[in-house]
A = this chain, B = another copy of it.
Amino acid sequence: MLTISQLATYAGVTTRAVRHYHQIGLLPEPERDQSGYRSYDADAVVRLIRIHALADAGVPLARVQELLDAGPEEFADGVQEIDKELRGEIRRVQRTRKRLARLAGGQHLALPECVVDYLDRLRDLGVEEQYIELERDAWIMVAAQVPDAIEAVIARKHEDLNDPDVIKLYSLLNGAVEMPADDARIVEFADIIERLAIRAAAAGELDATAFDDGFAALLDATMLNSSPGAERLLAILEARGWQGWTRLHQVPRSAG
């Protein structure tokens, strides 16, 4: 007859695990010897090894209970199901690994590849790092918000970069983050942005991305906080009949 620690080592588990299995009724309590010690036989070893095999596979103990006490068919079914879950688990971990791989190089945490590429293109255009970090943070939020649409959105952005006005805008951007509200260049920004917006409106490209209102407001607020000059820029645009930022649009001019 075996003591609890002998039983445990033969089955490759700890004594604490054995007592836990007793507590939850997974392994029946054995007889005690005259001094109150639990006394096990080979059957207990076999059952414990079986429990360990299933638990080791990640099967919840409650389910181990069911499986071991069930008939062969239910057992086979249950094992099938567990196998399906394990396949899903592997796929999940592999997806995670891909995300981690993209992120291992730099600080591109939580950013899809296409966004990283886009930011690299901005960098190549000579845009300063400070501004790129702002864009990056915004894209992190956008990617989290509409993960399925992010590729399309970025593709549009790449197209936008074919426009000379856009290129010019970005080329003027150096120093923009620290730009004070009275900097003369802000009017220049407003001019370019207005031209772009008018062309976009003409092409009917205004509501391509369907963010919910709150999220658009969040992006707007982020832009506002990003630079001392931002508020001024928006004010200028508003004076010219524009509203918003993430969804920049013309306000119907009311009489008065």
Interface pair A79/B50, CB less than 8 Å apart: no
Question: Is A6 positioned at the interface, with any CB of B under 8 Å from its CB?
Answer: yes
Return A178 CB to nearest CB of chain B, in Å. Answer: 18
A10 neighbours in B (Cβ, 8 Å)? 141, 144-145, 215, 218
A150 sits at the interface (CB 8 A): no
- Known pairs A10-B215, A79-B104 / 12 extra A-B pairs, C-beta < 8 Å: A10-B218, A41-B222, A42-B141, A42-B219, A42-B225, A46-B141, A54-B109, A57-B96, A58-B93, A75-B107, A76-B105, A87-B97
**Contact, CB under 8 Å: A6 / B141:** no
| A207 proximal to B (CB < 8 A) | no
Looking at the assembled complex, report how far the CB atom of A84 sits from the nearest CB atom of chain B, in whole angstroms. Answer: 10
Q: How far is the CA of A104 from the CA of B76 in the complex (A)?
A: 5
Task: Give chain A's interface secondary structure class.
Answer: helix
Instruction: List B contacts of A144 (CB < 8 A).
Output: 10-12, 45, 49
CB-CB contacts below 8 Å: A88-113 with B = 89-90, 93-94, 96-97, 99-101, 103-107, 109-110
CB distance from A21 to the nearest CB of B (A): 15
A181 interface residue, CB < 8 Å from B?
Answer: no
Establish whether residues A79 and B103, one from each chain, have CB atoms under 8 Å apart when the complex forms: yes
